[in-house]
Amino acid sequence: MAHTSELTVPELKPPLQNTSAPRDKEPEGDLEKLRKWQEDRVTRKLRGEYESAVLHLSEVVNSNIDTHLRLASVRVEGAAHTRKSFLASLVHPYVHAEPLVLNNSTLGSVLQTSREIGHLLNETDIFASVVAKLEPSRDVFARPGDIDLVFQTKEKSRMYLKTTGEIGNNEGGAVSISLGMSQPSSQLT
């Protein structure tokens, strides 16, 4: 057996050394001010990262706005209680447009289409949220540049329960319960 030397552990330093620069304006002493300062610092950092990501995304989109893409299909996910024929009637004009339009579509026109379909889905007042995303086409016969437009949705609740109660001094009590179906506040024309 070979002789092994003993491992040495480096000297420990206090973990909370003051590493702030004067420009950070880190408060000293008061823990409440320090906690608030730290929360603000994290918030500023997250906001900066978010703004950088948005800027990068906008640069990518703007530099590829004229890239040839063809909308192969539109899917609406999360619409379990909505008739497929109703959704198809909203989407059909965009997927089955003139062949000349489909063959000359770009990222910009696909983004415009996604905005229009998303607006239609929101107008129905059926969905609490509608989020669009672009995915490579899943079709076996898909060509390069074919994409699917996928809407991830969450349907609004159709039922509501409303209760009221009244209690008075020796007057008895009254309870009212109503159960109903919610109606869309706006209709498509």
Residue 76 shares a structural domain with residue 149: yes
Quick one: pLDDT at residue 97? 65
CB-based contacts of 162-170 (< 8 A; 24+ apart in sequence): none
Asked if the structure places residue 7 within a domain, the reply is no
* Closest C-alpha among 89, 82, 72 to residue 134: 72
Instruction: Check residue 185 and give its pLDDT.
Output: 47
Backbone angles phi, psi at 120, to 5 degrees: -60, -45
> In a structure prediction context, what are the per-residue pLDDT tens digits for the chain, which is 189 residues long?
555 556 566 666 555 555 555 566 777 778 888 888 888 888 888 888 888 888 888 888 888 888 888 888 899 999 888 899 999 999 888 877 655 455 678 889 899 999 999 999 999 988 999 999 999 988 888 888 889 999 999 998 876 666 666 666 666 556 666 666 655 444 443
Let me know whether 117 and 134 are in one domain.
yes
* Whether residue 102 sits in one domain with residue 40: no
In a shared domain, residues 87 and 58? no
- Residue located via tokens 């209760």: 163
131 is a domain residue = yes
Cα–Cα distances in Å, from 65 out to 7, 105, 144?
59, 10, 17
Domain range for 151 is 70-155
Query: How much is the pLDDT for 186?
Result: 44
